[in-house]
Structure 1
Amino acid sequence: MLYNSEQTSCSGCCCTLTSKIVLVVFMILLIVAIMFGNSVTLAVILRTKYFHTPQGYLKASLAVADLTVGAFVVPLSAYAELSFLINGSPAKWTTVNSLIATFHPCSFIGPIFAGCTLVSITTIFFLTIERTIAVLKPLHREAVITRKRTSILILLSWLGSFFLAVFPVLYSKEIVLEYNPCSRMCNYALRAATFPTQAWNILLLFPAFDFTLLSGTVAINILSFSTIRMHSKRRQHLAESDCQRVTGPTFTDIKAAKTIGMLTLAFTASFTPIAVFVVGNVAGKEWCNFSFFAFWILTANSCCNVIIYSVRDHKFRHRAHQLLVPLRRKSVTKT
């Protein structure tokens, strides 16, 4: 995310011929996994009326963001690594002055990756809010959380996220987008070897925004799970005393809240290496190899959501199975 734009050397972890081949194979497999998993998620949500809910809309938005990463970001890195493998030199794509000045692949792919990452964080935050309202105020959920309001929030999250993604390059000529040989991705970089104060502050918008939303999401999840725990104890007490069942969140709401909690945990775990890398970058550390693992752990998270849905939600798993079985039968029939 934060580099000197003059870096062109090969990352130490991926310089041998074998490691280059393994890296290309990994990228291709990751493209397949991201595209397949998120396509299944979208198919299940769009073709099943049960999932046409505010929560379903948010999950669809998250799947679209992940699908975009698999369709644009990873393929460019795979293409660059194939070129590296064939030509023996890393890609040198760097924007000049701004996005509008000269078009390079990174002037398009860089903001896409940053924007989709911001969309993912924002969407997980909205999912957490939606589940918390369902747990804390189950009787008011349908009045507060509507599909129209959710659709507006999704639109605003996409517009706001991509505005933040392009803002640094449009605002400061000291910031460029380049294909970095360490991370194997298009990243924001500072043109000069020394960090200008103004440009440095602009680049800090990303970690500040991400850390704020993730911290808020974790805090809200803790509140939600504390309420679930208290409600479970109350239910157990009433069951033992043969009293009437207390009004509260349903078993489905509780299970959905736990699913969103797992999504939050998975994204936080994948984003933490980036946070560590940014802190090290501020301290003047390059950490070339570590930056590679940090960025690609975050990217690999794009294929994890469908796994979480399949494990936690039996209705999602059953519907996905219904959609995939006919395709499998057709392929068997053709062969």
Structure 2
Amino acid sequence: MHDYGIASGYSGMQSNEESSSDVNEGSALNERFLVDIPIPWTLAELDDIVVLAAAPVYERDRQFSNISRLCSYPLFLEEELCKNEVDVWFCTKPWAAVIFGMIVAILAGAIISVNALILGLVATNPTMRKQHHAIKASMALADGIVGFLLLCTVLPAMAWMSTVTMDDFVSYPGNTINSPFAIFFGALLNVSIVGSIFHLLLLSIERFAAIKWPFWNRTRKTRSLTYSLFGLWMVIITVAIVPAAFPEQFAFQFQPSLLTYMMGLQSYSTWRAPLYGAVTIFIPYTVMVCFCIATAIDIAQKIKQTKKTFDSDHEQADFTQQGPRKTYIRQEIQVFLTLAMMITVFTVTLLPFVIVVSLLTAGYLKCNNFDGYYVTAYYVGMLNNLANGIIYNFRDKKFRKAARKLLCRK
């Protein structure tokens, strides 16, 4: 999930502020001049030179005097009231700000709690230390980062907004472009998003191997999985911070409508942006889906073969060997269905954000009408980090039993 449609809107912010600085110096005089014009006067009765010079300056000052300069702003602000010298709290809709803050706090708390529960159970319960459980615990660590970011960026930004003027708030996003603070939190968000899809990819490969080569999967040493997870995290971290090395194309900065830090584009005319999107989302997602389809086909074939063997004439020794095999296949089917549900939820929650950003990039959505869609799509995408843990909880009987034992312990 990357903000491909927003950051470019800030690239010209500094130039806009410089061009409007001269305007602001004379804005008070120009506004007073227009207000003091007696009503009976007509435009023809005024000095043409003065009027034609003053009116455009006043219009430009009015254009750049409110939060429309940002091209996006928090939904709980009243744009008409948010003038430059006004404190942000003056143009804040309190009820909307409270609702927004509560939603963010509840979502962050739920994400952290569910994923911390997975990590705690896998770490303390020996029966949960299976290979696919270890991968899911690693994914829970990546998912939990989002909850941390929401608590450490969005809620403090709301508190900060109440103490500053609109001048400070409007200029802040431009001042944070590729700053160390923005790179740190923006890269953490990349780690969480890229981590989720890369862990799902690893899970899909692991499930395919478990069905295709069950003997190899059962005899595989835990050390090999440890190396795989370590290598995966190295790739995730590297991919997340690589854009910081190309400030001409990518920009880590504060996103005012979301009150958090994200990675966006400085320019659309670059080959690195589509390449980065392909490496981080489209290629892993395509490979993941292909492995899931291949696993489903192999499961269907094994079920068919097992049924034929079970129904055919055979010796008693052969018959007794079918029970463990059927049980193993049944267990692997349940794990595969859990993975399929997680991939489906990932697709459903990510798709709205992709659609909104695509429409914004294509010009179908503009600065004056995309905020609501953008904020909604972003937080729908965050639900994926909560859904993984919930699906894992309800789909795994051993996990439910261990969770109840831990949570209900006196």
More deviation in 12-21 or 57-66? 12-21
| Aligned mates of 1:94, 1:237 — CA distance in 2 | 67
Task: State the TM-score, normalizing by the size of structure 2.
Answer: 0.70
Gaps of at least 5 residues in structure 1 are: 330-335
Name the residue aligned to 1:317.
Answer: 400
Counterpart of 2:123 (choices 33, 38, 46) is: 46
Residue-pair matches, total: 317
> Which residue identity is paired with 2:224?
R
Within the alignment, does 1:187 sit opposite 2:262 as a pair?
A: yes
RMSD of Structure 2 on Structure 1 (CA): 2.6
How much has 1:122 moved relative to structure 2?
A: 0.6
2:285 to 209, 214, 225: 214
One-letter amino acid of the counterpart of residue 321, structure 1: R
1:64, distance to aligned residue in structure 2 (A):
0.8
1:316 CA drift (Å): 0.5
Check if 1:148 corresponds to 2:223: yes
- Displacement of 1:272 in angstroms is 1.5
* Corresponding residue of 1:60: 137
Match of 1:212, SS state, is helix
Question: How far apart in 2 are the matches of 1:296 and 1:169?
Answer: 24
Higher relative contact order (CA 8 A, sep 6+): 1
Q: Specify every segment of 5 or more residues in structure 2 that has no aligned partner in the other structure, as ranges.
A: 14-68, 78-92
Q: Residues 199-278 of structure 1 correspond to what in structure 2 (within 5 A)? A: 201-209=271-279, 210-241=281-312, 243=314, 244=319, 245=322, 247=325, 249-278=328-357
Counterparts of 1:88 and 1:30 in 2: how far apart (Å)?
29
The amino acid of 1:19's aligned partner reads: A
Give the structure 2 partner of residue 283 of structure 1. 362
In percent, how many aligned pairs have the same letter? Answer: 19
**Cα pair 2:74 2:256 within 8 Å, conserved:** no
Aligned-partner Cα distance in 1 for 2:307–2:149: 50
- Give 1:24 deviation, angstroms: 0.5
Query: 146-155 vs 218-227, which deviates more?
Result: 146-155
CA-to-aligned-CA distance 1:219-272 (integer Å, 9 cap, x gap): 211121222223333434444446533957532222111111111111122222
| Superposition deviation, residue 21 in structure 1 | 1.4
Deviations 1:249-298 (A, max 9, x none): 53222211111111111112222223223432431345332221222122
1:84 aligns with 2:129: no
Contact 1:73 1:109 (8 Å CA) reproduced: no
What's the CA shift for 1:139?
1.7
Give how far 1:320 is off: 0.8
Q: Relative to structure 1, is the Cα distance of residues 308 and 96 closer, same or farther in structure 2, using a 3 angstrom cutoff?
A: closer
* TM-score, L = length of structure 1: 0.84
2:213 counterpart (120, 133, 137): 137
Deviates more, 1:245-254 or 1:174-183: 245-254
Whether the aligned pair in 2 keeps the contact of 1:128 and 1:217 (CA below 8 Å) is yes
